[in-house]
Structures are given as C-alpha cells and as structure tokens.
A and B are shown apart, each in its own frame.
Chain A
C-alpha cells in the first residue's frame, strides 16, 4: 500500500474492510495478488461482471489504498498496493513457515534413531 493507503488504514480501518467486503472486489484483489499488473480487460475476463462494474470496483479499492492503476503504454494496468510493513511481514511469514517445515524434518531426522 502506498503511504496514502497506510494512512487510510490507520485512520479508518473500516473503509479498508468495507472495500474488501464484497465478493467481486475480493476476487479482483486475489487475482491481482497472484499475478502481474493487469489491464481492466484482463481483470474482467471470466468474472461474469461487466467491464464498467469492474472499473467501479477498482475505484473503490483504489480509494481505500488497496490497489493502484498505472499507465503502461496505451493501457492502464492495475496491481495491489501492499503497505511496506505488510509486504515485509508477509514475506517473512513465509520464510518463517519454511523454517518450521525444515525443523520438523530435522526432528524426524535426529529423533528417528
């Protein structure tokens, strides 16, 4: 999330949850989290929702600081905008989980004898 997004979270957490509290928007965010920045056309494909509706949903998410559109050539591509702290933290959570799995294997390795 941009500093603006972090501020939005700090100031009004409800706006963030309100933005996420919609099935289509959640799905859009999940799609953006899993992929490269995407155009509205690509985000719309396969959703069963109109391009106009997706545009409106993206605007709600952007207002909460959760996503951001950037111009790339002739199109605008959209991506999630994670807060630096959240970003750092979640990557660390994954490394932490990897250590848990490695240590479980170590336990099996040394306690087997």
Chain B
C-alpha cells in the first residue's frame, strides 16, 4: 500500500521475518547500511547523529547525516535527514529536513513495516528540481504527470 501526497511518502510492506529480525535490520547502523547502500557509523539513540557515506556505485562521495529522533525497540524508529542531498559541494545543514519513521507491527505472516517520510513541502522547489534533473528517467515520468494533472483538472 502506498500513499503519496506532495508532503509525504508512505510505504507499507509485510516481511516474512520476526519483528526482532526486522528491528535489527533497521536499528543496527551496519545492517541499515547494508540495504540502504551506505556505510553508517553511530548509535541509534535519541538525539544522536549517525554519519556515513553512500556505497552506491558512482555515488560514493555522498555524505550521509541522520539525526535520530525516537527509538522504541521493536516498535518505532525515526530520524531526520536532508532529502535530495545529492550535490557534495552544497552545504545542506541550513535547510529543512524530512522526518523518516519506521513502524513495526507483528502480523501472522511476519512483520508489517510502515515507512513514512514527511516534510517535503518545506523543501525548496529549486532543490527538488535539481535532484530531479539528475534522474535519467525524467521525461517519461513527466509525461505521466502531465497526463495525471490533466485528468485531475478536467
């Protein structure tokens, strides 16, 4: 299930793994780094800053900075970061952040994980546009968006 507005992205997945396993994959910086494609250093504790860099081929120069907000073991983890922080020469520290929240729930099949990233409306549009230009599938998406936009308005 996906919900997307201009301000937030919400994703929900059911993982065939116990809650403790999913929690470890999210709250252990090394494990999070493995599937986030980043090397992350620092404890996931409220108020802590976790830093690192991308391991994604071609993007290794990208620095990561995550400020942890809430940690409720096996239930909730949230942090703030700078979305679209794709230019290594740009200082993003003065810009608004988005809030990423992971919520875990036990279900018969395993664990339901809900990921929410919110606060996009506070991010300068210029930044979004720059990030978008770095994305190669731009025009196809743009065409779809024009079609959606027109459908909504007519």
B154 and A13: CB pair below 8 A? Answer: yes
Surface stretch bound by A, among B16-24, B42-50, B71-79, B89-97 = B16-24
B141 close to A93 (CB less than 8 A): yes
Within 8 A of A (CB), among B6-63: 6, 9, 11, 13, 15-17, 21-22, 25-26, 31, 34-37
Mark each residue of chain A from 80 to 96: 1 if its CB lies under 8 Å from any CB of chain B, else 0. Answer: 00111111111111111
A45 within 8 A of partner (CB): no
Chain A residues near B84 (CB, 8 Å)? 91, 95
Residue of A nearest to B140 (CB): A30
- CB within 8 Å of B: which A55-98 residues: 82-96
B103 at the A interface (CB under 8 A) = no
| Chain A, interface SS category | helix
Whether a CB of chain B sits under 8 angstroms from the CB of A22 is: no
From 123 to 150 in chain B, residues with beta carbon under 8 angstroms from any chain A beta carbon are 125, 128-129, 131-133, 135, 138-139, 141-143, 145-146, 148-150
Contact B120 A88 (CB under 8 A): yes
Q: How many residues of B contact A (CB 8 A)?
A: 44
Whole-angstrom distance from the CB of A56 to the nearest CB of chain B?
22
Contact of A92 with B15 at beta-carbon distance under 8 Å, contacts A29-B139, A84-B125, A109-B25 already known: no
Cα distance, A85 to B153, chains bound together (Å): 12
Partner of B145, one of A13, A89, A107, A110: A89
Q: How far is the CB of B112 from chain A (nearest CB, A)?
A: 12
Q: Contacting A106 at CB < 8 Å: which of B15, B117, B132, B149?
A: B15
Chain B facing A: main interface SS? helix
A34 touches B138 (CB 8 A): yes
The docked-state distance in angstroms from the alpha carbon of A106 to that of B128 is 26
Among A82, A88, A103, A109, contact of B142 (Cβ-Cβ < 8 Å): A82
What residue of chain A has the Cβ atom nearest to residue B133's Cβ? A34
Contact B125 A111 (CB under 8 A): no
20 A-B residue pairings within 8 Å (CB atoms) = A9-B146, A16-B150, A30-B139, A34-B133, A86-B142, A87-B129, A87-B132, A88-B121, A92-B4, A92-B6, A95-B84, A96-B2, A99-B9, A100-B11, A105-B36, A106-B22, A106-B25, A109-B34, A110-B17, A111-B17
Contacts from A to B (Cβ < 8 Å): 9-10, 13, 16-17, 20, 29-30, 33-34, 82-96, 99-100, 102-103, 105-111, 113
Nearest 4 CB-CB pairings of A with B = A91-B128, A110-B17, A13-B150, A105-B35
